[in-house]
Structure 1
Amino acid sequence: METVKKNPGTKRNFKLGGITTAAVAGLIVLVVGANSFAQVEYGHVGLYKTFGKLDSNILSPGIHLKIPFFQTVIQVNTQVTKAETDTSASSKDLQPVSTHVAVNYSVNKESAYNLMNNVGRNVDAVIINPAVQEIVKEVTARYQAEDLIAKRDIVAGEISEHLTNRLAKYDLIVNEINIVNFKFSDAFNQSIEAKQVAQQQALKASNDLKRIEIEAKQKIAQAQAEAESLKLKKQEVTPELVQLKQIEVQEKALEKWDGRLPSVTGGATPFIDIQSFTNQP
């Protein structure tokens, strides 16, 4: 009876084949396992998408199971997002106005399915920008160009109110709106600058006039005070006071007199009553 010898190479091939199969199976399990989970980031909600169809079930932030390869989870940002829009319009007095508007908005979590199913991800271009342009044109046309600057907060409030009502139809929440800039034509800017200069000059002239009036009143008051003072002084002068002053002057003259009469002739000699002094005891 002939003995069949075993080939060592065949045994080795079987062993290598088994290892390869196990590795492939492990890799498949790993890939399938990795595709069986999806993570929804913080500040987002998730929606299942199976064969291109959205599921209305809202997924909160965290890890969620899904069908590998056939199901995905799309994420909808529910944080406050900023959309910026440039608009061109005309004011009530037909001045061209360019406006840069920034809108802070957010998505209603409970209505994420309706938004994604009816609008999609490109909310800014599809919904917000056209709405802002239309509303800004409508509101701007109700104001004079100068009032758009002076009543900026009121204008922004009207735009915010109209935009809030418009975006509510799409379950979008308007958190805040800012008019970043109003831009007018060069001719209008020059007219505004000239008007401001004229107002400043008028204010300066008014202030100068008030200053001159105050100074004139001060001088009149000072003159009146001096006149009143002089009047009071005149009322105090009596014949007795005049005589007393004369006596004071004569006494001062005697104190300075050296006893000799002036030697200069041709002039009047001051009269001094010497007898009144000699008769004194």
Structure 2
Amino acid sequence: MAQYARLLTRVALASLGVGGAFAGVEQCLYTVDAGHRAVLFNRWSGIQKDVVGEGTHLLIPFVQTPIIFSVRTEPFVVASQTGSADLQQVTVALRILQRPQVEALPVIYGTFGEDFKSRILPSIVPEVLKAVVARFNAHELITQREAVSRLIREQLTRDAARYHIVLDDIAITELRFGRDFTVAVERKQVAQQEAERQKWVVQRDEYERQASVIRAQGESAAAKLLSDAYKQAGLAHLELRRIETARHIAETLARSRNIAYLPSSGNILLNLGSS
């Protein structure tokens, strides 16, 4: 029984030794994933200047500490309120695609820490927006948005480079003016629409007047042509029309129930108007 207990003790000690060895090895290794880089902080010498790439690397436990940074392009949104050249309050929101300069990661960590973008970008973006937006009035900010965006991109890219940040793209996601200016713009649009409607009404009335004139001219020309035709035809044409009228009246009376007899001799209707 005592021998069995000693055997179990040896097995337990061996297991602890193997487990401790694995734990020690694990503390001596660290992994840098794809799209990331590492900066080593040494408790004795401080931040090391070399940037560690992707993969698994050795580490001195309790002496070195790895700080992992993402070097992928990531979005960052910053909004700021500023004034235009005509003193209108403007709120501009930017969507910035940014990433750190890989070779400058030790400097970035030593100066700004791990959350460097939240400390740098909200500081430089408002100043750039104030400088650019102040060069345009409210109307130009709307009609020349591409030029405004280009100036913001150029100046912000230059300023961010001083802090070792690369800006791959900058886009204006929001351009909002103050309430008073918005109400004024809406009223102006309503007035313009009403002016366009009144202009259309005037044009419609003018077209109708022109149509009436053309119609009257056509009727006058038709009457003149008919009068000229009567003059050329003379009395024969009038006599023919009189005969046609008389025949039409006779046919109408013949179909009426109130007429029982129509004399066949001495056609009175044909002599109407005869001299």
TM over 0.5: yes
Letter in 2 for 1:271: S
Letter in 1 for 2:234: V
Partner of 1:93: 86
Q: What SS is found at the alignment partner of 2:168?
A: strand
Pick from 170, 186, 206 the counterpart of residue 213 of structure 1.
Answer: 206
Partner of 2:38: 46
Pick from 96, 107, 116 the counterpart of residue 103 of structure 1.
Answer: 96
Q: 1:94 to 1:75 in 2, by over 3 A?
A: same
Letter in 2 for 1:260: G
Q: 1:251 to 1:122 in 2, by over 3 A?
A: closer
In 1, Cα distance between equivalents of 2:70 and 2:49: 16
- Output aligned runs, 1:15-54, within 5 Å: 18-51=10-43, 53-54=46-47
Give me the TM-score of the superposition, normalised by structure 2.
0.80
Q: What's the RMSD between the two structures over aligned residues?
A: 2.9
In 1, Cα distance between equivalents of 2:113 and 2:16: 39
CA contact (8 A) 2:71 2:100 kept: yes
Please state if 1:140 is matched with 2:133: yes
In 1, Cα distance between equivalents of 2:140 and 2:162: 31
Partner of 2:240: 248
Unmatched 5+ stretches in structure 2: 251-262
Partner of 1:278: none
Partner of 2:265: 259
Partner of 2:222: 229
Q: What SS is found at the alignment partner of 1:88?
A: strand
Alignment: residue pair count: 258
- Output aligned runs, 1:260-279, within 5 Å: 260=266, 270-271=273-274
Deviates more, 1:36-45 or 1:179-188: 179-188
- Output aligned runs, 1:45-194, within 5 Å: 45-51=37-43, 53-194=46-187
Q: CA deviation at 1:79?
A: 1.5
Deviates more, 1:75-84 or 1:16-25: 16-25
In 1, Cα distance between equivalents of 2:244 and 2:95: 95
Give the share of equivalent positions with the same residue, in percent: 23
Greater Rg over alpha carbons, structure: 1
Q: What SS is found at the alignment partner of 1:67?
A: coil
